[in-house]
């Protein structure tokens, strides 16, 4: 009777060795492919976050100088400034109406409506020749108290009073977060994992430039340059 021949121990060991090499090669390929995919995903998320943050900066800064033509002409407000790594822009949030004349040295101002006024908000007071910016120290139902006395007197029919909106962008170096701060509210994170932030504003060309550098891709930088129209109109108005 013929014997049924099976695999020898040596053949089995060789088969297992070849099979192990195939498995290890497959796992190595999968690991490299997964690592490459995660890097691509992280790069994509970094790019999306940076571009989204730059777009938010562009939208905010494009509002610079809105409603501030006369204060800009009088050099009371800047509209846009970039100093010590802080990009700041100002715009008018609301027009306020005084119920009486304003006198030099006065600290309490009576309004028709104070619902949108808050402590630490800023108001711009001006007429066609002069003006000033004051911080609000307290608010009640029909008036507010400013932190320092008025420097000038204003006629009710000629005075303009604007509630200012101030937005700041700056890098929190301790946490590598680019933050956005509106008025006196707490600063909110705009872009995370950022190691560098720089900005500049050329008043002559009215050009704003912003650059950010991701922490995990130091060789890569994201830049934005744009022309805010409100400050340009204010500049032309001054001429």
41 lies in some domain: no
Residue 55: its pLDDT value, please? 92
pLDDT at 239 over 60: no
| pTM: predicted TM-score of the whole model, two decimal places | 0.78
Residue 54 domain-assigned (yes or no): no
Per DSSP, helices labelled H in 62-129 are 69-73
* 181 within some domain: yes
Within a domain: residue 150? yes
- Condensed to tens digits (0 to 9), the pLDDT of residues 91-121 reads 999 999 999 999 999 999 999 989 889 999 9
Distance (Å, whole) CA 231 – CA 70: 12
**Domain range for residue 78?**
59-238
As beta bridge partners, residue 83 has: 86
Separation of alpha carbons 153 and 105, rounded Å: 8
pLDDT tens track for 65-91: 899 989 988 989 988 999 999 999 999
Query: 153 is written with which tokens?
Result: 């007197």
Higher pLDDT residue, 16 or 7? Answer: 16
Q: Give per-residue pLDDT as tens, 25-75.
A: 777 777 777 776 667 666 667 778 888 889 999 999 999 989 998 998 898
CA-based radius of gyration for the chain: 31
Residues above pLDDT 90, as percent of the chain: 54
Q: Is 45 a domain residue?
A: no
Write the DSSP assignment of 170-185 as a string of letters.
EEETTTTEEEEEETTS
Distance between CA 120 and CA 138 in Å, rounded?
Answer: 8
- Cα 60 to the chain's mean position, in Å? 7
| Contact in structure between 123 and 146 (CB atoms under 8 Å) | yes
Confidence tier at 175 by pLDDT (50, 70, 90): very high
Is there a domain that residue 203 lies in? yes
Asked whether residue 52 is domain-assigned, the answer is no
**Order of strands across the sheet with 194-202?**
194-202, 207-214, 222-226
Q: Is residue 81 part of a domain?
A: yes
3-state secondary structure of 232: helix
């Amino acid at each position: 009777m013929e014997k049924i021949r099976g695999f020898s121990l040596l053949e089995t060991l060789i088969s297992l060795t070849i099979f192990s090499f195939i498995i290890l090669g497959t796992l190595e390929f999968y690991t490299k492919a997964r690592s490459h995919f995660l890097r691509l995903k992280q790069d994509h998320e970094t790019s999306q976050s940076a571009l989204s943050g730059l777009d938010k900066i562009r939208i905010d800064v494009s509002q610079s100088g809105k409603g501030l033509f006369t204060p800009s002409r009088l050099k009371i407000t800047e509209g846009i400034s970039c100093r010590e790594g802080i990009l700041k822009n100002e715009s008018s949030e609301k027009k306020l109406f005084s119920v009486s004349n304003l006198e030099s040295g006065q600290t309490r101002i009576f309004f028709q409506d104070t619902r949108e006024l808050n402590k630490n908000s800023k108001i711009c007071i001006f007429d066609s020749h002069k003006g000033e910016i004051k911080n609000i120290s307290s608010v009640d139902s029909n008036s507010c108290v400013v932190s320092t006395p008025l420097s000038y007197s204003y006629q009710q029919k000629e005075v303009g009073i604007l509630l200012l909106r101030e937005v700041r962008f700056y890098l929190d170096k301790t946490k590598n977060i680019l933050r956005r701060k509106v008025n006196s509210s707490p600063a909110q994170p705009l872009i995370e994992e950022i190691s560098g932030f720089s900005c500049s504003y050329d008043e002559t060309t009215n050009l704003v430039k912003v650059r950010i550098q991701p922490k995990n891709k130091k060789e890569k930088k994201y830049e934005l340059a744009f022309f805010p129209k409100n400050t340009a109109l204010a500049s032309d108005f001054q001429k």
